[in-house]
């Protein structure tokens, strides 16, 4: 599927890179979703979970939960049920003709794919319309800093950055950007930059951090 121009990403990249650098810092950076406790999220009051798909839940362009996190994701589903969605910058957008990719992902994974007109780091209205709660009561999981993490932080969500699941089949452009993103985030954290304050943040949510 060809992807259309991402206006929000272009606009918010310099803002997060040079002005509000905290937008690019996740609350937790982990190897994968197994390092976050879904039950702890629930106990802290988080009402819904928003996941990027490729290299967060699945290998790129594969509609199967990645083998090493299948058990972990089953725990998320047990705790949160249908309060879990996938928010992609391809499937479920206007680039997805007749939402064919979104429908196929839903059939294969059993997870709702959000239909939305604005790509991350935009698109909050579609998310809130689904969950019917405050943005700070949501958690955003993703492997991309300047789309997934900036999106979540921009709107006050708790943000979880996940490391690459696999390079196999990865989009070349995404891989190139990722090689820029990760060293930058390490540099910002080492210089003392922190994620935006979150009223429901608790360190015990995370089992093991990468950064």
Q: Write the pLDDT tens digit of every residue in 181-190.
A: 888 888 888 9
pLDDT over threshold 60, residue 26: yes
Sorted by sequence, the CB contacts under 8 Å of residue 175 that are 6+ apart come out as 167
Q: What is the pTM of this model?
A: 0.92
Domain ranges of the chain: 26-193
Is the distance from CB of 2 to CB of 183 less than 8 angstroms?
A: no
Q: What is the pLDDT of residues 79-100, one digit of tens each?
A: 999 999 999 988 999 899 999 9
The answer on pLDDT for 6 being more than 90 is no
pLDDT above 60 for 145: yes
CATH number of the 26-193 domain:
3.40.50.1000
185 contacts: CB under 8 Å, gap ≥ 6: 24, 25, 26, 29, 145, 161, 211
């Amino acid at each position: 599927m060809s992807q259309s121009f991402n206006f929000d990403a272009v606009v918010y990249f310099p803002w997060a890179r040079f002005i509000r650098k905290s937008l690019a810092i996740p609350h937790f950076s982990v190897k994968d979703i197994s390092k976050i406790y879904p039950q702890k999220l629930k106990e802290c009051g988080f009402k819904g979970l928003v996941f990027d798909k490729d290299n967060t839940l699945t290998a790129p362009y594969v509609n199967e939960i990645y083998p090493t996190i299948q058990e972990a994701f089953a725990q998320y589903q047990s705790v949160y049920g249908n309060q879990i969605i996938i928010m992609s910058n391809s499937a479920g957008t206007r680039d997805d003709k007749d939402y064919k990719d979104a429908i196929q992902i839903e059939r294969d994974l059993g997870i709702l794919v959000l239909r939305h007109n604005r790509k991350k780091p935009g698109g909050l209205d579609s998310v809130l319309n689904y969950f019917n709660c405050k943005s700070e009561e949501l958690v955003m999981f993703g492997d991309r800093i300047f789309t997934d993490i900036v999106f979540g932080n921009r709107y006050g969500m708790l943000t979880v950055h996940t490391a690459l699941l696999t390079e196999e089949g990865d989009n070349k452009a995404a891989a190139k950007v990722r090689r820029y993103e990760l060293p930058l985030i390490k540099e910002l954290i080492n210089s003392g930059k922190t994620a935006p304050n979150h009223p429901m943040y608790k360190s015990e949510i995370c089992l093991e951090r990468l950064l």
